[in-house]
A and B are shown apart, each in its own frame.
Chain A
Amino acid sequence: MVRKRYLFIGMLMVILGIVIAITVFPSEEKRVKRRFHLLSEWVSKSPEENAFTLLQKMRDIGSLFDEHCELKTDYPSLSGSYTREEISTYVGSARSQVSRLSLKFYDLQIVFPEKEVAKVTLTARLTGRSTAGEQMDETRELECLLKKIEKKWLFSQIDVVEVLKK
């Protein structure tokens, strides 16, 4: 009887240990997904957002990116390499021109082509309303490259995939 009780307690501890390990030490895939979740949260804007939250989000957005992040799009004027500070400034400027903004990511496919590098293919949808009342609704396929630098996954390249070529 006593032996059975010890066995039960032992099994319980093993299960508890596994649950704690999964929670405390998430997989690399979950860590990468978390970065997208944060990017979505910090880019999005609700009409009730106060000045403090606005400044905090602007500061935080830069921390998700590598020192230099490469952007590739169909628009030559937008393509290029941006620093964290530039990204924070541009996102802040764009957010100031909208009253509502929502950035959501769908169908994330994550692969690790080499150590400390994650390649993510996904669909991004940006919806919102400008301060002038104009509606926006853009959906694009993206290919992102994230690098693990000092234990953090940082966006180092974002390619806007041309799905339909006119």
Chain B
Amino acid sequence: MLLKRVVAREGERVEFRDGKLFVDGKEIEEPYVRYPCDWNLPPRQVEKDSIYVVGDNRGMPIENHHFGQASKSRVVGGPLW
């Protein structure tokens, strides 16, 4: 079971520039990200019936972090708070 934050929905374009998250070209404010992040990820479109998820721990190298798009059918619940 993975606990991740949904940052983009189907059809949206997601990318990272110098650690900043952009969805459809717009920078997203992420106060929950506590550690410095230097990720770069070229833009990609979220596929049909999928969501794009990323964890809040962005202090680790991008290649070691499990994130990306997954089928909506895999979602089993949301946090209670």
Contacts and interface: CB of A to CB of B under 8 A. Distances in A.
Q: Say whether A and B bind each other.
A: yes
Interface of A: 163-166
A74 to B, nearest CB: 11
Contacts of A165: 68-70
Interface in B3-51: 41, 44
Contacts of A166: 41, 44, 67-68
Nearest to A163: B70
Contacts of B67: 164, 166
Interface string B66-79: 11111000100000
B80 interface: no
Contacts of B41: 166
A123 to B, nearest CB: 8
A166 B44 CA distance: 9
8 contacts: A163-B74, A164-B53, A164-B70, A165-B68, A165-B69, A165-B70, A166-B44, A166-B67
B60 to A, nearest CB: 13
A164 B52 CA distance: 8
A7 to B, nearest CB: 50
A164 B14 CA distance: 14
Contacts of B53: 164
A164 B70 CA distance: 5
Contacts of A163: 2, 70, 74
A166 B47 CA distance: 12
A58 to B, nearest CB: 31
A164 B2 CA distance: 10
Nearest to A162: B68
B8 to A, nearest CB: 13
B40 to A, nearest CB: 12
A90 B5 CA distance: 37
B37 to A, nearest CB: 15
Given A164-B2, A164-B66, 7 more contacts: A163-B2, A164-B67, A164-B70, A165-B69, A166-B41, A166-B44, A166-B67
A163 B52 CA distance: 11
Contacts of B66: 164
Contacts of B68: 164-166
